[in-house]
């Protein structure tokens, strides 16, 4: 009769029968759902590897293996300097776009002499990335003496964050500073091909670093007090904050150069940089003075 105990206690037979019917229907539904799930998983995993794109796509659509630009087998890197151990996806994309193979760097001294020359070509300096590249040059010449082993892990550990970060997707897909501008991409490509490993790891950190969207969203929610923070707003604020950090660090480096100091940036440099930015007016002033520090 009843395989399980009826919740009503078995005293009312008609209720027991109704309950038994419900249990059977539920089990039937469960079996059907299980079948559907298996079918869905099969189709879903198949569609993740789409014939259209020819590669695996993650949940959010970001690419696991190769960026869109180098879908075809990438042309063998003719220069292939022994220094470049980690092939960045956007670096591959850069090399792929330019048909002519880049010149092989003859040595680190030549590179440092060449890169300022290459940078001066990029006169259309509205590009903020080129602005950031120029100040990094004097610092990277100092930084290149720093053992690169420390630079490697910092660059690689970022890859774990990458797959969750939508903002870094444009980097992964090989999108260049101004997509659709062949001159700029060619210039970028020549610059990037002449980077030393230290410079390349620093550039990689520059491109890939960013604030976590979830953290930023939480912060914005707590500041505004409103529950809904749209995704574009998070993206904009993260971008603004990152550029602000860039301004701070660059100004701090300028301060260090004036004081003729070297090594890591110290808080005193940072405070001086903050003061200078405040004088320039880049920092929003508080209309109401902050109480109870």
Partner 1 sequence: MQDKESMNASAGLSSKVRVGTSQPPESSFKRKRGFFQKDLQHMMYGFGDDPNPLPETVALVEDVVLEYVTDMVHKAQDTASKRGKLLTEDFLFLIRKDSPKLNRCTELLSMNEELKQARKAFEVDEEKLSSIE
Q: Which of residues 132-161 bind partner 1 (CB under 8 A)?
A: 132, 135-136, 139-140, 143, 146, 150-151, 154, 158
Cα–Cα dist 108/141, whole Å: 10
Give the contacts of 192 (CB within 8 A, at least 6 positions apart): 91, 94, 200, 203
Asked if 52 and 158 count as a contact pair (C-beta separation under 8 A), the reply is no
Q: How far is the CB of 240 from partner 1 (least distance, A)?
A: 6
- The CB-of-233 to partner 1 minimum distance in angstroms stands at 5
Minimum distance, C-beta of residue 116 to partner 1, in the bound complex (Å): 16
> How far is residue 223 from each of residues 124, 219, 226, 255, measured CA to CA in Å?
38, 6, 8, 32
Q: Measuring CA to CA, which residue among 40, 43, 70, 41 is closest to residue 55?
A: 70
Residues 251-270 that bind partner 1 (CB under 8 A): 252-253, 263-267, 270
Decide whether 114 or 178 has the Cβ nearer to partner 1: 178
- For the chain, first and last CA: distance in Å? 74
Distance CA 55, CA 68 (A): 9
**Distance of closest approach, residue 178 Cβ to partner 1, in angstroms:** 8
What would the two tokens of residue 203 be?
A: 């550039």
Does position 243 interact with partner 1 (CB under 8 A)? The reply is yes
Is 25 or 245 the residue whose CB approaches partner 1 more closely? Answer: 245
Our CB check for partner 1 shows the closer of 55 and 97 to be 55
Contacting partner 1 within 164-223 (CB under 8 A): 166-167, 169-170, 175, 202-212, 215, 218-223
Residues 13-52 that bind partner 1 (CB under 8 A): 43, 46-47, 50-52
Residue 88: closest CA among 4, 172, 164:
172
Query: What residues contact 211, with CB distance under 8 A and at least 6 apart?
Result: 238, 241, 242
CA distances from residue 77 to 67, 96, 125, 150 in whole angstroms, order as listed:
17, 9, 29, 26
Nearest to 195 by CA among 159, 244, 148: 148
Residue with tokens 């508080």: 286
Q: CB-wise, 90 or 203, nearer to partner 1?
A: 203
Q: Which is nearer to partner 1, 111 or 140 (CB)?
A: 140
Tell which one of 230, 258, 259, 261 touches partner 1 (CB under 8 A).
230
Interacting span for partner 1 (CB under 8 A) from 87-95, 101-109, 110-118, 163-171: 163-171
Quote the least distance from Cβ 66 to partner 1, whole Å.
Answer: 16
Among 17, 29, 259, 282, which residue interacts with partner 1 (rule: CB under 8 A)?
Answer: 282
**Pick from 54, 58, 101, 239: which binds partner 1 (CB under 8 A)?**
239
Residues 54-113 binding partner 1 (CB under 8 A) are 57, 60-61
- Whole-angstrom Cα distance, residue 16 to residue 24? 12
Q: Please say which residue, 100 or 262, places its beta carbon nearer to partner 1.
A: 262
């Amino acid at each position: 009769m009843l395989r399980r105990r009826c919740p009503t206690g078995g005293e009312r037979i008609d209720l027991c029968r109704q309950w038994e019917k419900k249990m059977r229907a539920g089990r039937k539904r469960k079996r059907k759902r299980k079948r559907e799930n298996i079918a869905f998983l099969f189709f879903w995993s198949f569609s993740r590897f789409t014939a259209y794109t020819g590669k695996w796509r993650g949940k959010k659509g970001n690419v696991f293996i190769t960026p869109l630009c180098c879908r075809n087998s990438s042309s063998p890197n003719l220069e292939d300097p022994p220094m470049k151990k980690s092939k960045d996806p956007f670096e591959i994309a850069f090399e792929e776009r330019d048909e002519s193979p880049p010149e092989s760097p003859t040595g680190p001294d030549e590179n440092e002499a060449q890169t300022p020359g290459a940078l001066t070509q990029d006169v259309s300096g509205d590009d903020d990335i080129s602005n950031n590249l120029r100040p990094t040059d004097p610092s990277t010449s100092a930084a290149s003496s720093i053992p690169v082993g420390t630079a490697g892990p910092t660059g690689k550990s970022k890859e774990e964050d990458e797959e969750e970060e939508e903002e870094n997707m444009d980097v992964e897909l090989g999108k260049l500073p101004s997509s659709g501008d062949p001159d700029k991409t060619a210039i970028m490509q020549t610059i990037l091909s002449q980077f030393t490993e230290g410079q390349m790891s620093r550039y990689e950190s520059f491109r890939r670093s960013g604030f976590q969207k979830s953290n930023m969203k939480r912060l914005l929610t707590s500041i505004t007090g409103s529950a809904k923070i749209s995704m574009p707003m998070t993206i904009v604020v993260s971008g603004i904050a990152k550029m602000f950090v860039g301004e701070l660090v660059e100004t701090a480096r300028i301060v260090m150069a004036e004081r003729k100091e070297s090594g890591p940036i110290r808080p005193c440099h940072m405070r001086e940089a903050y003061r200078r930015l405040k004088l320039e007016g880049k920092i929003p002033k508080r209309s109401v003075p902050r109480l109870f520090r």
